[in-house]
Amino acid sequence: MLTWILVAVAVLLAVPVVSHLWTLARPHEVVTEVEIEASPEGVWAVLTDFAAYPEWNPFIVSARGEPRVGARLTNRISNNGSTMTFAPEVLAADPGRELRWIGRFLMPGIVDGEHYFRIEDLGGGRVRLVQGETFTGALVPFAGGALDVAGGFAAMNEALKARAEQTAGALR
């Protein structure tokens, strides 16, 4: 009997470890992009004006904090009819090029989401904004629709595009 209990405990402990290792090798990724008629600096200014998010952003409906490496943000997202608040840590903040953070559910290794915005200068006053997230962790294979954020990313991309192009047009 004790042997079966030990085997059961070993299996219960092994499943999350194997699941986490699997997602490190094969993470769940979501990537969206949009072209914007604005400068990299203009897109960066809209992206990092967190106080204005409630005015235009349909996905990250509020954000507080500073876009600097090591800072903690407080973000509230609205996706598929539900809202969630989380406190990611900024990993990269390169003005006009990249903003990246990592958010975690409960503790590292359960569900980790590394979110990024890359601003690629296309020349001629145009950029490509690439927004994506890489999910890893023990619960990722079981998260199902909870990680279905592509629609929210696309909606944010379009709203950011409209705001950046409006701002760029006002400056011309």
Q: Which residues are CB-neighbours of 27 under 8 A, at least 6 positions away?
A: 134, 135, 136, 140
Which pLDDT value is given to residue 22? 52
Helix (H) or strand (E) holding 54: helix 53-56
Architecture of domain 2-171: 2-Layer Sandwich (3.30)
Number of H helices, E strands in the chain: 4, 8
Find the mean pLDDT for residues 159-170: 90
Any idea where the domains of the chain sit in the sequence? 2-171
**Mean pLDDT over all residues of the chain?**
88
Residue-level pLDDT at 27: 81
pLDDT in the model for residue 93? 98
- Please calculate the CA angle 52-54-59 and round it to the nearest 5 degrees: 115
pLDDT digits (tens, 9 = 90+) for 17-31: 554 555 555 788 999
Give the per-residue pLDDT at 55: 97
What's the confidence (pLDDT) of residue 33? 98
- Check pLDDT > 80 for residue 12: no
Paired tokens of 73: 């943000």
Q: What percent of the chain has pLDDT over 90?
A: 67
Contact 105, 124 (CB under 8 A): no
Alpha carbon of residue 164 to chain centroid: 20
